[in-house]
Amino acid sequence: KKTGKKYYEGESFINDKGEKCTCHWDGFVCQCEDSAISCSDGSEKWTDQQTCTAECIKSPGYCSSSGDPHYRSFDGKYYDFHGTCTYQAASCDDFQVYFKNVDLYGRAPRYTKRVELHYKGKVFSIENGYVAKVDGVKVQLPYVKSYTSGDTVQILSNGELEIVLRQGSKGRLPAARLRANNAGRTINAELWLHGSCADETEGMCGNWNGNPGDDLPGGSANTLGNVNQAYDENCPAPPKPYHPCDDVPNGHEDAAAICNTLKGSPFTSCHATVNIGDKNGGIYKNCMTDVCNCFNDESCACTQYDSYAETCVQNGVDLSNWRESVEYCPYECPEGQTYHASAPIPSPSCLDRTPEEESTARGCFCASGQFLQDGLCVDASQCKCIHEGNFYNVGEVIEKAAECQSCTCQEAGTMNCEELACPSLNCAENEVEAQKDDSCCGYCAENWVKAVNPDIKGEQRTDNSIDM
């Protein structure tokens, strides 16, 4: 704040506009407050930062794609889909989330390999093997893309890779959280969506209107997939649904014997809250399908045990420690990291060493006092400077355009920052002063008015259409 008073993370003040400004590790987030509303259990207050009015909205929605892949919509609809394209999973205003499926064996099953966030002309993605990319280029973590509006896109290692979109400009903190649970050559994808997106979202995760019965148009997962397939991909038509246990000797019986684990402890504590389903649908059927796809290897049931446990956690029943009761489901972590059933997130990093806890998550973490950097757990003294996924050496200057800062890299990954001096503009007659959404400095833009089809001439028809 310009008064010179120092604020620490989590502290706040009221600015001249009446907005509450809270200190975060990457700067202040200022939001208006409308206190003239209270919300009942099961909903939460949201103040629309565009209108500064509040309303009661749903708690964040949860959708997943696991194993075969088996989808669970925001409204709790379970279904299988074996297409091998990239499919829109959800959307809200100015962003979209996509799941990418792959064919590993030249037959069903298919699996999810990558999740993507499309926002402001960029594609942020996380995939199997703990790989993070922006516009197809691999980046180091933690990755943070900042915008002058105060919005950010973060790619973090929170036990598993996550993409977090924070839209402070709209009061969505966060707007979306995408998670890629590593499963070797594939992932199990999870998505949390802000409650203001309910009834508006479109995609494989359904419309989130509270009715699971209308999540499959025409009653077909293949129809839903065709509608939400990425426009620039040419993929074979998805096959008709089938049950892999039909192809395995004694498959149904043997798979059921394994998946009956879901009917025992510790999962029974959640049965009244989240139905496990049966051989015809739900998590239980998903489990049988995955087991038969592995020719009755019991370890292939673990993905669905985990999926059920996480759904229970989302519904207030803590099954985070379920692996302690199922000996054939250990979780293998990269060297130097340890599995935790429930650890605070965001996880400490070289960029933010003491983050304020927002939630908990399962996954692989570095020991206390160490930070994940370039795949290794390192001490604070080994930290490097990082900005937008790139490492910098000591003495190098880093321009943080959205924050209007010019920073010099120092030892142990720290930076010394000062206000960025924007160049003065002297635009030509055919140029206008403009500003990008990720830079505080303006620039001279030419060709600022463009025809949609500059090389195509048409004649105006009497019906107001254009002859192409």
**Six token digits for residue 291:** 């087991």
Taking every pair of Cα atoms in the chain, the longest distance, rounded to a whole number of angstroms, is 79
Q: 256 exposed, middle or buried (CB, 10 Å; 0-12, 13-18, 19+)?
A: middle
CA 32 vs. chain centroid, Å, equals 26
DSSP code of 424? P
Which of 68, 70, 144 lies closest to 102 in space, CA to CA?
Answer: 68
Q: 44 exposed, middle or buried (CB, 10 Å; 0-12, 13-18, 19+)?
A: middle
pLDDT at 29: 76
pLDDT at 240: 80
The 3-state DSSP class for residue 315 equals coil
pLDDT at 7: 83
Average pLDDT along the chain: 91
Residues 383 and 140: beta-carbon distance below 8 Å: no
pLDDT at 461: 39
Residues 129 and 138: beta-carbon distance below 8 Å: no
* Residue whose tokens read 């956690």: 313
Positions of the chain with pLDDT under 50: 1-2, 458-468
pLDDT at 16: 79
**Six token digits for residue 381:** 């003294």
- How far is the CA of 118 from the CAs of 90, 94, 121, 354, in angstroms? 11, 9, 7, 29
DSSP 34-103: --S----TTEEEEEETTTTEEEEEEPPEEEEEETTTEEE-TT--EEE----SEEEEEEETTEEEEEEEEE
CA 399 vs. chain centroid, Å, equals 27
- The dihedral of CA 321, 327, 332, 337: what is its sign? positive
pLDDT at 19: 79
Phi, psi of 382 (to 5 degrees): -95, 0
**What is the distance between the alpha carbons of residues 64 and 74, in angstroms, rounded to a whole number?**
9
pLDDT at 279: 95
Residues 108 and 290: beta-carbon distance below 8 Å: no
The residues, ordered by sequence, that sit 6+ positions from 429 with a Cβ below 8 Å of its Cβ are none
Phi, psi of 400 (to 5 degrees): -95, 85
pLDDT at 232: 75
Helices (H), 114-159: none
* Residue whose tokens read 């990418």: 100
pLDDT at 458: 47
**Six token digits for residue 247:** 């192809």
Residues 412 and 351: beta-carbon distance below 8 Å: no
**What is the distance between the alpha carbons of residues 285 and 338, in angstroms, rounded to a whole number?**
31
pLDDT at 354: 95
CA 424 vs. chain centroid, Å, equals 39
pLDDT at 208: 98
